[in-house]
Structure 1
């Protein structure tokens, strides 16, 4: 089943979320249902070693969203706000267990972040994602995050700026520098 790209998902989610924020309980429940479906895939990818705990984490994130929904800033994409909360809850869980969290590229991090898991068995696709992540890890954090948001997750410069707290022009500079550096690495130049 193909899923909506991040921008299309945001376009579907935002009206339901906004109506829910305005007191429409049915719209709020529908927004949470849309979020829960995508959260399961996102969390399942990050908790592959604890598949029995995925649903508990989904519920914890949904509870955090509910408790903190008053802090939502309408200028930020709902999906970016949700993913930031999910990411923080995952990190908190790993810390609680005394385990060092794996590197979480800000997962608005890939277009697949919100997609349900597919049973494609595509080894080449997996290897390409792994190679891309290895290349991205060589970049300074600000460049890596700007590229992940704008080039992989489909965020606009404004959305990426809102998600990171940087200015839109800083995001553009980081993307330009990062892509230039990646191109040099791929060509074999330092």
Structure 2
């Protein structure tokens, strides 16, 4: 079998691949109407794929879809015309889906119920001044990136956004600092009791 045309286009490319690839190449050559149609048609296919792969995360499908379309738009200059369009799109989709799942796992870890953490701020019958002193000593054991978020968010009741502005940390860093700091305090407290 002669494979002289290999790399330019598959001999029996799927009709959807052919249509999307044609529209995309026309758009790369300056046809904005073709690009608009390409994005609409691609969005239908990607949305269906995401709904199939993430049946329990329907609310997140549109967000992921927008991230994929934005990445395609920003990276359209990286597409090599001799490659199948679907392989290029799927690589972007896999990357964005992995980003989403990693971020979701981090978010879920940050929002784990803290039931397993001892009640650091509960009623104890100890005078408030003693509690503040003991809490201050515990917090002093933590690095600033954990101590400050706990102090601002959990002790003072500030929002994550306010804490980020006050400390110069990003909002995700504030959330991570609170989460990791509380876990570190719980370990120190448990370690102190044994």
- Which TM class, normalised by the smaller chain length? 0.3 to 0.5
Q: Which has the higher contact order (CA 8 A, sep 6+)?
A: 1
When normalised by structure 2's length, the TM-score is 0.46
Which has more radius of gyration? Answer: 2
When normalised by structure 1's length, the TM-score is 0.47
